């Protein structure tokens, strides 16, 4: 089916759904169903990630000093509810510590915990979801967190504002069972760097 808008960013959700951000808002596109607007154009999404293992949707909305990460439950968008969310609905879902962010990256699915690195100018904020993917799978009704699910781990200062970032998981396992020596690959205007998380 044709999609009439230019896509800014998007992500897949399951085998049959897409979440697509455009200048006209964010749409849920599903096979055999009319495109559904879930956020109106007052919410200018620059980056989004569907994290199915934890049942959450991450959005980076606005720009400049107003840029923030917002966390929603995927269950908020399931079913036939037609209520379209606007800018006013973002308030209770924003991660305050991310104010001014211009970029984020999340760890790959399959790790024990979801990790996120957020670029705010020359600072990188490292956050981790409080529940493991296994815990969420065992107790899905208990994992209802949105912004309170992320815990701040630490801050890393870099020489200039990154233009691209990605998390690189270490194959090493600590004695406590967690990953060790994870890295952040950072692309700057004229060079790359690899820093320890």
- The winner for highest mean pLDDT among 2-11, 61-70, 73-82, 173-182 is 2-11
Q: Residue 93 is part of which domain span?
A: 7-196
Question: Would residue 2 count as lying in a domain?
Answer: no
- pLDDT band per the 50, 70, 90 thresholds, residue 179: very low
DSSP class per residue in 57-75: EEEEES-GGG-EEEEEEGG
Q: What is the pLDDT of residues 89-136, one digit of tens each?
A: 999 999 999 999 999 999 987 667 889 999 999 999 999 988 776 666
Question: Would residue 1 count as lying in a domain?
Answer: no
Question: Would residue 113 count as lying in a domain?
Answer: yes
Question: Would residue 130 count as lying in a domain?
Answer: yes
Structure tokens at 130: 């409080």
* C-alpha to C-alpha distance for 6 and 189, rounded to whole angstroms: 27
- pLDDT value at position 177? 52
Q: Apex CA 190: angle with CA 184 and CA 196, to 5°?
A: 15
Question: Would residue 147 count as lying in a domain?
Answer: yes
- pLDDT band per the 50, 70, 90 thresholds, residue 149: confident
The number of domains in the chain is 1
Q: What is the pLDDT of residues 9-52, one digit of tens each?
A: 999 999 999 999 999 999 999 988 889 999 999 999 999 999 99
Kind plus residue range of the DSSP H or E element containing 151:
strand 150-157
The DSSP symbol for 107 reads P
Question: Would residue 179 count as lying in a domain?
Answer: yes
C-alpha distances out from residue 39 to 4, 18, 77, 147, 190, Å: 16, 14, 10, 18, 36
Beta strands 113-120 and 103-106 are antiparallel
Q: Could you give the strand order of the β-sheet that contains 123-132, starting from the edge strand earlier in sequence?
A: 103-106, 113-120, 123-132, 150-157
Q: Could you give the strand order of the β-sheet that contains 17-22, starting from the edge strand earlier in sequence?
A: 7-13, 17-22, 25-30, 36-39
């Amino acid at each position: 089916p044709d999609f009439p808008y230019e896509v800014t960013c998007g992500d897949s959700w399951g085998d049959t759904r897409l979440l697509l951000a455009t200048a006209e808002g964010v749409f849920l596109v599903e096979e055999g169903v009319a495109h559904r607007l879930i956020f109106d154009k007052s919410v200018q999404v620059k980056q989004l990630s569907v994290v199915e293992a934890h049942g959450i949707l991450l959005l980076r909305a606005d720009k400049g000093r107003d840029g923030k990460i917002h966390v929603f439950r995927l269950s908020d968008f399931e079913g036939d509810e037609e209520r379209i969310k606007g800018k006013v609905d973002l308030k209770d879902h924003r991660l305050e510590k991310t104010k001014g962010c211009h970029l984020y990256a999340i760890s790959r699915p399959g790790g024990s915990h979801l990790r996120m690195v957020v670029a705010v100018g020359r600072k990188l904020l490292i956050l981790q979801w409080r529940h493991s993917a296994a815990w969420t799978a065992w107790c899905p009704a208990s994992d209802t967190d949105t912004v309170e699910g992320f815990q701040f781990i630490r801050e890393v200062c870099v020489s200039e504002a990154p233009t691209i970032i990605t998390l690189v998981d270490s194959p090493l396992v600590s004695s406590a069972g967690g990953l060790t020596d994870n890295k952040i690959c950072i692309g700057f205007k004229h060079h790359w760097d690899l820093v320890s998380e």
